[in-house]
Chains A and B, each alone.
Chain A
């Protein structure tokens, strides 16, 4: 069990560029979650997958955001045409099958949009 990993850890981009983040969950965890955390705030839910199926998306997830989890393993979160308001920490978490199982978080990807 190597924990949840995320790549890259930091990303600086210019407004209007596309960025993609990757999350590798704990092996055998069926559920994978994406959250966004802005400075001084708690994480806010973006979306989650059960295996390869994306089961819920927050209203925070605009059309510029897309997430995938092919084959139910790693996941990617892409932001198209980035805006300065997208600057935040993007956290990934994973858990076992049932909703009450503890979610284990990765170190996050800190995005800065200039």
Chain B
């Protein structure tokens, strides 16, 4: 079974501080991509960062970076210098890139609140 687990339902961080959101996943496949999506309140889902499973180097996008541990099937998101606009639900997801299976499998999400 393909599953994504986000065990922390809510987190809060002070503005300008750093926060790490955790995610674990389970798949028997070897070729897949991992994503973090952000869904602000009443707004559409947008991509934050993606990681190709075959790459050892962790992806970075400005204040966002990941810690990808393939053997442990762990994919955490670090947000540095948190801003009020980072307040949102964050979803971890993966997709297989072989065969006919093209769906994203999402976790339940984590609600992040950035305090002023």
Contacts and interface: CB of A to CB of B under 8 A. Distances in A.
Interface of A: 31, 33, 35, 40-45, 48, 55-56, 58, 91, 93, 98-100, 102-108
Contacts of A100: 33, 52, 95, 97
B101 A40 contact: no
A105 B107 contact: no
Contact of A42 (B33, B91, B98, B101): B91
B102 A48 contact: yes
26 contacts: A33-B102, A33-B103, A33-B104, A40-B109, A41-B109, A42-B93, A42-B108, A42-B109, A43-B91, A43-B104, A44-B106, A45-B103, A48-B103, A56-B101, A58-B103, A91-B45, A99-B98, A99-B101, A102-B35, A102-B47, A102-B50, A103-B104, A104-B47, A105-B37, A105-B46, A108-B44
Given A99-B95, A99-B97, A100-B95, A45 B50 contact: no
Contact of A105 (B45, B102, B103, B108): B45
B97 A98 contact: yes
Contacts of B106: 42-44
Nearest to B104: A103
B100 interface: yes
Interface in B16-50: 33, 35, 37, 43-47, 50
B44 A105 contact: yes
B105 interface: yes
Nearest to B92: A42
A79 B21 CA distance: 36
Contacts of A56: 100-103
Contacts of B109: 40-42
